[in-house]
Amino acid sequence: MARSIPTRTRLGFTLVGWLVGLLIFFPILWTVLTSFKSEGTAIATPPQFLFFQWTAENYAEVNSRSDYFKHFMNSVVISVGSTLLGLLIAIPAAWAMAFAPTKRTKDVLLWMLSTKMLPAVGVLVPIYLLFRDTGLLDTRIGLTAVLTMSNLPIIVWMLYTYFREIPGDILEAARMDGASLAKEIVYVLTPMAVPGIASTLLLNIILAWNEAFWTLNLTAAKAAPLTAFIASYSSPEGLFWAKLSAASTLAIAPILVLGWFSQRQLVRGLTFGAVK
Amino acid sequence: MRVRLCAVATCSAMAIAAFGTTGATAETLTIATVNNGDMIRMQKLAGAFTEKNPDITLEWVTLEENVLRQRVTTDIATKGGQYDIMTIGTYEVPIWAAQDWLVPLDFDADYDVDDLLPAIRAGLSIDGALYAAPFYGESSFVMYRKDLFDEAGLEMPEAPTWDFIGEAARKITDKGNEIYGICLRGKAGWGENMAFLTAMANSFGARWFDMDWNPQFDQPQWKEALQFYIDLMKDAGPPGASSNGFNENLALFQTGKCGMWIDATVAASFVSNPDESKVADKVGFALAPDNGLGKRGNWLWAWSLAVPAGSQKTDAAKKFIAWATSKEYSELVAEKEGWANVPPGTRTSLYANPAYQEAAPFADLTLKSIQAADPTHPTVDDVPYVGVQFVAIPEFQGIGTAVGQQFSAALAGQTTVDQALAGAQALTAREMQKAGYPK
């Protein structure tokens, strides 16, 4: 029988929940507010919260100085492309590990994850030389490939966890009905794992969107995504916080909107299998 | 089917041919620049260059200083060839030129290379050959609050000593009202606190290395300089100074919390801009302090344009650099945006121009500060390196930051001055030994 929770406790938890939520969201809110201030108001002490003279001049300045749309399109192509390519490789890999494990499967999984433990800068020069020799520097294809590789371990791990929750008997039943391996993965496994695949997809798009090491180091003028757009507004000599905030807001807005609309899917996927 | 394939192949070949032809007539220069105001202005005005040179198109990669440095260094060290023109500083030029990574620049008589300020030109040349053309140069000086000085009955000399600065800073300080006599860099980093402290130490007669590349932090000059800095900051500096860099001090000064601030000359235009600064009409300027040893505690930096050896478009790149760093460009900026916005610190003729002197009240002090710095003889005794606030060797970024952490810890009160200097000496000696420097 479910235990009834006293109203006061429930109120307390709700309040704490809201407080934690606000605390996490506050830096984003502050960035958005700062983007509407003048440079002078942005550094004012005490900081001004809502009652200042709102201005959109920072957005106008940012748009006149850089080509936002070009950077935005590069971000879309690179993040979506690398995630789809990653899924294409990871779904069969996760299937093999979840439904046809060997005694080395656990080791393979750990080894895959261990590739994330090396700091990216450690392989910058070799990758840079490879890209130079293959003509991939400053290309969307090159960046898509490198982000696919860097996010693949996470995609495989996430999918492996979701697939493990699916009873192997269902797949076996499909096999007994004469389904080939490809059909089993496409028509039986994938539809059942949609919440898991969707949350993996979304999380990896977010990771790729925010990736700021490879996207900054392997691009110049043509394939530079929104991370390079932001980097052109921060400055160690000069307080341009309002312009930087406007550039940051423009860069995070698309992914924030995507996250907002897909939050139900995201939460469902992330808690998939948590309660049996 | 075969017919359709042939048609597609023919169309593709034609498209590729057409694309190839277009590519051959117009040359595209990819330019990596730092995102300061002068560079962004150059980007805006570059239309004047492409109008005159319709066969050249420009592509810009504008980044903040640290990201730019990481990116262009990776590219040039691997001969990546992504950029045709790079914006680099006085730290990189001697190192890269010695590695044959840069194309030497030779300009015609119209460019008037002798008009470049000698200190800046010396920092960008090796054996008399110029490897980068200065776009804008800066030094450091004292910015102070005239109103606070008047209230305290003090008068700032044009060329103050460290003793006067110390005395004045302590007199002005009113911690109860959040007025701090002096704001100086404390944040650890080779381009942060070490830029200031190395330049300051020069005026105390300290040096990084002797002529045999032995570190000198165990010498009394370093102890005197660091002790002076830490005592001064304890008595008259703002709280939490060990995490303050240029931007933090700029915010403090602009909001009226600093009596003095010694930093880059470029800050003068920010603190005297009434849109950004509360104290715009109360700011005075003076040369960086000295200690009676013939060297002032100011640095020298020039953002310069260079052509990497990996570029395939050397001629077009040189043409652009000659335009962007010419007298003609200065006149163009003056015509479009006024003399006050002309990039400072590169040409003697600019400082002789009455229109410029009138528009930029701190022009004279900037020139004197730049002239007072000598990158080949930065301190009292001879040194084996080039550089005023840095040592132009590849290892310096790492060593400078590690030493900066020691000094920042001493400022925060976590270690003593002696411990910080001993730590700096040990780590520098170890790194230099590993790199094979000491003779």
> Interface pTM (ipTM) of the complex?
0.78
In terms of domains, do B126 and B204 share one? no
In a domain? residue B364: no
Q: What is the predicted pLDDT for the residue at B18? A: 41
Question: Quick one: average pLDDT of A197-223?
Answer: 91
Name the phi and psi angles at B342, rounded to 5.
Answer: -70, 135
For chain A, what is the mean pLDDT? 89
Instruction: Say which of B30, B64, B276 has its CB closest to residue A234.
Output: B64
In terms of domains, do B92 and B231 share one? no
In terms of domains, do B322 and B391 share one? no
pLDDT tens per residue across span B319-374: 999 999 999 999 999 999 888 889 988 999 999 999 998 888 788 888 888 888 88
Residue in the structure block whose two tokens are 């691009």? A219
Q: What is the pTM of this model?
A: 0.82
Write out chain B residues lying below 8 Å of A243, CB-based: none
Q: How far apart are CA A173 and CA A195, in angstroms?
A: 22
Confidence of residue B24 (pLDDT cuts 50, 70, 90): very low
Q: What is the predicted pLDDT for the residue at B79? A: 87
Q: Give the CA count within 13 Å in the CB-facing half-sphere of A52.
A: 21
Q: Could you tell me which residue, B37 or A35, shows the higher pLDDT?
A: A35
Q: What is the predicted pLDDT for the residue at A273? A: 54
Q: What is the predicted pLDDT for the residue at A276? A: 43
For chain B, what is the mean pLDDT? 90
Q: How far apart are CA A258 and CA A198, in angstroms?
A: 12
In a domain? residue B6: no
Nearest residue in B to A124, CA atom: B74
Question: Quick one: average pLDDT of B103-117?
Answer: 93
Q: Provide the 10 A C-beta neighbour count for residue B366.
A: 21
- Choose from A132, A134, A237, A248 for mutation: most chain B CBs within 10 A: A237
Q: Given an 8 Å threshold on Cβ–Cβ distance, is A132 in contact with B79?
A: yes
Closest CA to B366 of B287, B296, B291: B287
Q: Which residues contact A109 (CB under 8 A, 6 or more apart)?
A: A97, A156, A157, A160
In terms of domains, do B421 and B321 share one? no
In a domain? residue B369: no
Q: Count of domains in chain B?
A: 2
Q: Given an 8 Å threshold on Cβ–Cβ distance, is A125 in contact with B74?
A: yes
Question: C-alpha distances in angstroms, B142 versus B183, B264, B340, B342?
Answer: 10, 9, 20, 22
Q: Provide the 10 A C-beta neighbour count for residue B5.
A: 9
The SS3 assignment for B296 reads: strand
Q: What is the predicted pLDDT for the residue at B15? A: 42
Q: What is the predicted pLDDT for the residue at B366? A: 87
In terms of domains, do B294 and B327 share one? no
Q: How far apart are CA B172 and CA B52, in angstroms?
A: 55
Residue in the structure block whose two tokens are 């570029």? B311
Decide the pairing of beta strands B258-264 and B133-145: antiparallel
In a domain? residue B320: yes
Confidence of residue A271 (pLDDT cuts 50, 70, 90): low
Question: Which of A:229-268 have CB within 8 Å of B?
Answer: 231-239
CA–CA min distance B291, chain A (Å): 28
Q: How far apart are CA B401 and CA B420, in angstroms?
A: 13
Q: Which residues contact A115 (CB under 8 A, 6 or more apart)?
A: A153
Q: Provide the 10 A C-beta neighbour count for residue A24.
A: 9
**H or E element: which one contains B186?**
none
Q: Which residues contact B295 (CB under 8 A, 6 or more apart)?
A: B202, B203, B205, B378, B379, B380
In a domain? residue B19: no
Q: How far apart are CA A238 and CA B246, in angstroms?
A: 8
In terms of domains, do B153 and B39 share one? no
- Choose from A66, A229, A232, A241 for mutation: most chain B CBs within 10 A: A232
Q: Given an 8 Å threshold on Cβ–Cβ distance, is B64 in contact with A124?
A: no
pLDDT tens per residue across span A146-165: 999 999 999 999 999 889 88
Question: Quick one: average pLDDT of B275-293?
Answer: 91
Strand intervals (E) in B236-317: 258-264, 283-287, 300-306
Instruction: Say which of B62, B264, B270 has its CB closest to residue A232.
Output: B62
Instruction: Say which of B78, B82, B245 has its CB closest to residue A138.
Output: B82
In a domain? residue B5: no
Q: Give the CA count within 13 Å in the CB-facing half-sphere of B66.
A: 12
Please check whether residue A245 is in contact with residue A58, taking contact to mean a CB–CB distance below 8 angstroms: yes
In terms of domains, do B293 and B166 share one? yes
Instruction: Say which of A129, A235, A239 has its CB closest to residue B35.
Output: A235
CA–CA min distance A239, chain B (Å): 6
Instruction: Say which of B40, B71, B79 has its CB closest to residue A65.
Output: B40
In terms of domains, do B96 and B59 share one? yes
Please check whether residue B14 is in contact with residue B6, taking contact to mean a CB–CB distance below 8 angstroms: no
Question: The domain containing residue B259 runs over which residues?
Answer: 139-299+384-435
In terms of domains, do B131 and B146 share one? no
Q: Given an 8 Å threshold on Cβ–Cβ distance, is A44 in contact with B74?
A: no
Q: Provide the 10 A C-beta neighbour count for residue A252.
A: 18
% of residues, chain B, pLDDT over 70: 94
Q: How far apart are CA A235 and CA B410, in angstroms?
A: 27
Q: Given an 8 Å threshold on Cβ–Cβ distance, is B35 in contact with A233?
A: yes
In terms of domains, do B240 and B346 share one? no
CA–CA min distance A42, chain B (Å): 10
Q: What is the predicted pLDDT for the residue at A43? A: 78
Q: Which residues contact A44 (CB under 8 A, 6 or more apart)?
A: B255
Write out chain A residues lying below 8 Å of B274, CB-based: none
Q: Given an 8 Å threshold on Cβ–Cβ distance, is B60 in contact with A43?
A: no
Please check whether residue B322 is in contact with residue B342, taking contact to mean a CB–CB distance below 8 angstroms: no
Q: What is the predicted pLDDT for the residue at A238? A: 73
Please check whether residue A20 is in contact with residue A3, taking contact to mean a CB–CB distance below 8 angstroms: no
Q: How far apart are CA A207 and CA B425, in angstroms?
A: 42
Q: Report long-range pairs for B155-162 (Cβ below 8 Å, ≥24 apart).
A: B156/B284, B156/B286, B157/B286, B158/B286, B158/B287, B158/B365, B159/B286, B159/B287, B159/B290, B159/B296, B160/B286, B160/B287, B160/B289, B161/B289, B161/B290, B161/B291, B161/B292, B162/B203, B162/B204, B162/B228, B162/B289, B162/B290, B162/B291, B162/B297
In terms of domains, do B394 and B250 share one? yes
The CATH number assigned to the domain holding B115 equals 3.40.190.10
**Residues on chain B bordering chain A, Cβ-to-Cβ distance under 8 angstroms:** 30, 32, 35-37, 40, 59-67, 70-71, 74-75, 77-83, 191, 245-247, 250-251, 254-255, 264, 266-267, 270, 275-277
pLDDT tens per residue across span B374-427: 888 999 999 999 899 999 999 998 999 999 999 999 999 999 999 999 999 999
Q: Cα angle at B66 between B61 and B68, to 5 degrees?
A: 20
Sequence ranges of the domains in chain A:
67-270
In a domain? residue B53: yes
Q: Given an 8 Å threshold on Cβ–Cβ distance, is A124 in contact with B246?
A: no
Sign of the alpha-carbon torsion through B434, B436, B438, B439? positive
Q: Given an 8 Å threshold on Cβ–Cβ distance, is B61 in contact with A224?
A: yes
Q: What size, in residues, is chain B?
A: 439
The structure tokens listed for B149 are: 């000085």
- The CATH number given to A67-270 is 1.10.3720.10
- Start-to-end Cα distance in chain A: 17
Kindly provide the b/e burial profile for residues A205-224, where b requires at least 16 CB atoms within 10 angstroms of the residue's own CB.
bbbbbebeebbbbbbbbebb
Q: What is the predicted pLDDT for the residue at A253? A: 92
Name the phi and psi angles at B207, rounded to 5.
Answer: -145, 160
The structure tokens listed for B300 are: 């020298």
Cis peptide bond prior to A92, omega within 30° of 0? no
pLDDT tens per residue across span B184-227: 999 999 989 999 999 999 999 999 999 999 999 999 999 999 99
Q: Could you tell me which residue, B79 or B163, shows the higher pLDDT?
A: B163
In terms of domains, do B98 and B154 share one? no
Confidence of residue A214 (pLDDT cuts 50, 70, 90): very high
